[in-house]
Amino acid sequence: MELKSSAFEAGDLIPAKYTCDGSDVSPPLSWSDAPSGTQSFALISDDPDAPRGTWVHWVAWNIPATSRSLDEGLPKQDSLPNGMKQGTTDFRRVGYGGPCPPSGTHRYFFKLYALDTSLNLPSSTTKAALEKAMQGHILKQGELMGVYRRR
């Protein structure tokens, strides 16, 4: 599966709009080549370069199987009208939290998973809990990486 954003190219700088230095809104994402049998998608965004280990910026699941994109600036709430659910990030809140590295240039990975099921999880769900719930249900995955350095 190919995961892309109209806001930045793979490996390029994530625009400040999508970070703590800007509006801190989620970037637009789109994908193609979902496998047959996909019942839902899940998304994890994290920063493996954080000083205390990987920092989780976004956890989402039950993105409808018919979806091929996520709009910019999704509401930071646990349930969205299309059925998508969002969990708790390392910012200790629900929804997207943009790049905000304390120093240096960090890499930010957006990982999309095609699943053969939907998941019944609470909004307190973390990355670890989502990964555990997805075990044995991942049909395919795609990844987009962008970088950011604070001004």
pLDDT digits (tens, 9 = 90+) for 96-131: 999 999 999 999 999 999 999 999 999 999 999 999
- Compute how many other C-beta atoms are within 10 angstroms of the C-beta atom of residue 27: 26
Fold designation for 2-149:
Phosphatidylethanolamine-binding Protein (3.90.280)
The number of CA neighbours under 13 Å toward the Cβ of 84 is: 26
29-58 residue pLDDT tens: 999 999 999 999 999 999 999 999 999 999
